[in-house]
Chain A
Amino acid sequence: MSSTTVFVPRDAAALSLGAEQVAQAIAGEATARRLDTRVVRNGTRGMCWLEPLVEVQTAAGRIAYGPVAAADVPGLFAADFLNGGGHALRVGPVEAVPYFNTQDRLTFARVGVTDPVNIDDYLAHDGYKGLTRALGMSAAAIVQQVTESGLRGRGGAAFPTGLKWQTVLDTPADQKYLACNADEGDSGTFADRMLMEGDPFVLIEGMTIAALAVGATEGYVYLRVEYPHAHRALDEAIATAYERGYLGADIMGSGARFNLHVRLGAGAYICGEETSMLESLEGKRGEVRPRPPLPAVKGLFGMPTVVNNVISLATIPIIIDKGAAFYRDYGVGKSRGTLTVQLGGNIKRGGLVEKAFGVTVRDLLYEFGGGSASGRPIRAVQIGGPLGAYLPESQFDTPLDYEAFAAIDALVGHGGVVAFDETVDMSQMARYAMEFCALESCGKCTPCRIGSTRGVEVIDRILSGTESRLHVELLAELCDTMTYGSLCGLGGLTPYPVLSALKHFPQDFVKV
Chain B
Amino acid sequence: MDSVDSIGTETIGRIVARLRGLPGALLPVLHAIQAELGFVPPAAVPLIAEGLNLSRADVHGVISFYHYFRDAPPGRHTIRLCRAEACQAMNQRALEAHAKERLGIDFHQTTANGTFSLEPVYCLGNCACSPAMMVDHELYGRVTRDRFDEIVVAWEDR
Contacts and interface: CB of A to CB of B under 8 A. Distances in A.
B17 interface: no
B66 A266 contact: yes
Q: How large is the interface on A (under 10, 10 to 19, 20 to 34, 35 or more residues)?
A: 35 or more
Contact of B68 (A267, A347, A436): A267
A285 B60 CA distance: 10
Interface in B81-140: 84-90, 121-130, 132, 134, 137-140
Contacts of B80: 226
B72 interface: no
Contacts, number: 152
A284 B24 CA distance: 8
Most chain-A CB neighbours within 10 Å: which of B127, B137, B138?
A: B127
A382 B66 contact: no
A16 B89 contact: no
A16 B141 contact: yes
B28 interface: yes
A188 B88 CA distance: 11
A299 interface: no
A187 B128 CA distance: 11
Nearest to B26: A283
Interface in A395-430: 416, 418-421, 424, 429
Interface string A45-58: 00011010000000
A344 interface: yes
Contacts of B122: 185, 187, 269, 386, 436, 439-440
A49 B127 CA distance: 11
A229 interface: yes
B139 A16 contact: yes
A286 interface: yes
B89 A424 contact: yes
Interface string B52-66: 100000100110011
B126 A345 contact: no
B85 A382 contact: yes
Contact of A386 (B27, B84, B124): B84
B132 A187 contact: no
Given A226-B134, A345-B127, A188 B62 contact: no
Interface string B33-67: 00000000000000000001000001001100111
B27 A280 contact: yes
A51 B129 contact: yes
B24 A282 contact: yes
Contacts of A187: 84-87, 122-123, 127
Contacts of A286: 65-66
A115 interface: no
Interface string B132-152: 101001111110000000000
Interface in A251-295: 263-269, 280-287
B126 A13 contact: yes
A323 to B, nearest CB: 32
Nearest to B124: A226
A342 interface: yes
Interface in A436-468: 436, 439-440, 442
Contacts of B15: none
A284 B127 CA distance: 30
Most chain-B CB neighbours within 10 Å: which of A185, A187, A420?
A: A187
A184 B125 CA distance: 8
A12 B124 CA distance: 10
Most chain-B CB neighbours within 10 Å: which of A190, A266, A347, A373?
A: A266
Contacts of A268: 65-68
A265 B122 CA distance: 14
A382 B128 CA distance: 14
Contacts of B124: 226
Contacts of B142: 16-17
B26 A189 contact: no
A301 interface: yes
B127 A264 contact: no
A479 B110 CA distance: 38
Nearest to A269: B122
A180 to B, nearest CB: 15
A352 B128 CA distance: 9
A280 B65 CA distance: 10
Most chain-A CB neighbours within 10 Å: which of B65, B69, B124, B138?
A: B65
B23 interface: yes
Given A188-B123, A418-B89, A350 B129 contact: yes
A176 interface: no
Nearest to A390: B85
Contacts of A359: none
Contacts of A343: 128
B24 A418 contact: no
B28 to A, nearest CB: 7
B24 A344 contact: no
B127 A267 contact: no
Given A187-B85, A266-B67, A268-B66, A350 B137 contact: no
Contacts of A301: 23-24
B128 A342 contact: yes
Contact of A16 (B26, B86, B123, B140): B140
B125 A12 contact: yes
A94 B88 CA distance: 31
A285 B127 contact: no
Contacts of B24: 263, 281-284, 301
Contacts of B139: 12-13, 15-16, 229
A418 B127 CA distance: 8
16 contacts: A16-B139, A51-B129, A187-B127, A188-B85, A189-B127, A190-B126, A192-B125, A226-B80, A226-B121, A284-B62, A301-B23, A342-B127, A345-B85, A350-B128, A386-B122, A439-B122
Given A188-B86, A418-B89, 12 more contacts: A12-B125, A16-B139, A190-B127, A226-B134, A266-B31, A283-B25, A284-B62, A286-B65, A345-B127, A346-B90, A416-B127, A418-B85
User: Which are the 3 A-B pairs with shortest beta-carbon distances?
Assistant: A350-B128, A344-B127, A187-B84
